[in-house]
Amino acid sequence: MSERKVLNKYYPPDFDPAKIPKLKLPKDRQYVVRLMAPFNMRCKTCGEYIYKGKKFNARKETVQNELYMGLPIFRFYIKCTRCLAEITFKTDPENTDYAMEHGATRNFQAEKLIEEEEKRIQQEREDEELNNPMKVLENRTKDSKMEMEVLENLQELKELNQRQALVDFEGMIDRYRELEKREREREKEEDERETKEMLERVLVKRLRDSDSDSDREEQSSSQSKTSCADKPTDILTTDETDVQGASSGGVKRAKVESWEKSVGTLRGRGALSSLVVRKKPTATDKRPTTEEATVSPVSKTDSKTSTGDSTDAPKSSVSQNASSSLSLLGAYSDSDSNDSE
């Protein structure tokens, strides 16, 4: 792409630079330049503040009949940002600064004023010492006294710095790091110990749970074996003593119905069984009489039906059991009366 950027120009063979007309520009001509405000200022017309560094399109011109050691001085024209009033300032090469001319006032000149005051005092002192030798001696005495005070203050500062230098900051930092390291190790050990204790507690709990589960399984298996060995109908064939012994041994006792508690059974040893008396047959009475033959089958059948009802239908009503027992009592009483006759 360099061939497109042509820097040389073509001059024909008959080119004569003397024929080019010269521009006659005035010496005080002005140029438009872009600059920034060199200091903080305030407009005199509207009171607008213009801070340092604000950019302006200014007109620049050379000040006529003013030079500083052969250096020209330039003047700049700007306009206020609010009221468009013209503000001018120029360069000050003697103080390496800018000087305000008109249209605004400069703000924050404390440093500059102090420097000017110091220069003024120094100039007055030199003028006094020029024609008064006693003033020179007095000024020297003051300077020596001031120098001694400065040296004393400097010595005090050095001693103070030496006292502070005795403190071993590196050692303090090392000790602090060592303490911090020990604290971290201690916290780590405590965490490990707590973790170990928690794991041990969990392990013991699991072992206890497993033992309890095994005991429960053994107990349930033993109960199932006993329940399988015992039949539900065994309670009907066993005697009361067997049932009591089994209940004392740990086996569950059979449930007694309410009618059995109130009336009882004929084959048991209840209150009604004592009222029934059975006659023992003798050797002489081989053949029963006609009345016995007629009554005995009825009594036997009634006794069988009563016993059968008591065993086979335990949930019958109390009134039926009572009537059957009374009929049996009447039959036995009739048979006994016949025998006695």
Binding residues: 43, 46, 80, 83
- Sheet (strand 41-43) strand order: 49-50, 41-43, 104-106
Closest CA to 178 of 188, 170, 168: 170
Known binding residues for Zn(2+) are: 43, 46, 80, 83
| Pair type for strands 104-106 and 41-43 | antiparallel
